[in-house]
A and B are shown apart, each in its own frame.
Chain A
Amino acid sequence: NAGVTQTPKFQVLKTGQSMTLQCAQDMNHEYMSWYRQDPGMGLRLIHYSVGAGITDQGEVPNGYNVSRSTTEDFPLRLLSAAPSQTSVYFCASSYRLDSNTEAFFGQGTRLTVV
């Protein structure tokens, strides 16, 4: 049972480069989301999806794009990396869009932009 799988685990980018962070879940969850975690700030929601073909912005969406072509996959694209995007990124999924449903997290991607 893999759960939520994120790749890569670590990445170093130069300013201006683009890249895609991969996220896949094998639990047939409807709801998927991307967070960034910065010291002293908890988790902040970047984008989320309530099902294949449906995405929406969270609290801090600027500089990031997402798509959801399948239930399983929810990649996060950095269009032109900036040092301010240095962070740890977490993908999460949950069974349904419900306030009391547990979220399952991937192990994170530690991104450094130089």
Chain B
Amino acid sequence: AQSVTQLGSHVSVSEGALVLLRCNYSSSVPPYLFWYVQYPNQGLQLLLKYTTGATLVKGINGFEAEFKKSETSFHLTKPSAHMSDAAEYFCAVSEGSNYQLIWGAGTKLIIKP
């Protein structure tokens, strides 16, 4: 069965510092990979996704993620954190034959001034 692991339920970085949120998945076939962001008291919105092609994917708000098949990872990065990035971030995966999304537990990003 597929699973998604997000390392760290909380990540704290200083404003202007690099953001790195980790996501590892287990899948026997090439997956589709997603990052969603949830701002306080709101629903989730798509940040970026990997389907096929280029393994470095750029999303909204300066975020990007790299699909590394050999490491079964899809880590999310942003070069310089902004206070507005404070939110919870979810990694999700689906396989070509199974449309249902499998979700990680989420990582809450805290930005220190």
Contact = CB atoms under 8 A, between A and B. Distances in A.
A107 B42 contact: yes
B99 A97 contact: yes
A40 B108 CA distance: 10
**In terms of DSSP, what is the predominant structure of the interface of chain B?**
strand
Contacts of B103: 42-44
Interface string B94-113: 11101111011110000000
Nearest to A94: B99
A102 B32 CA distance: 11
Interface stretch (B11-19, B45-53, B75-83): B45-53
* For the complex of A and B, 8 pairs with smallest distance between CB atoms: A105-B43, A42-B103, A100-B51, A99-B94, A43-B103, A105-B44, A42-B105, A100-B32
19 contacts: A31-B99, A40-B105, A40-B106, A42-B90, A42-B104, A43-B101, A48-B100, A90-B43, A92-B44, A97-B99, A99-B95, A99-B96, A99-B99, A100-B51, A105-B44, A106-B43, A107-B41, A107-B42, A108-B43
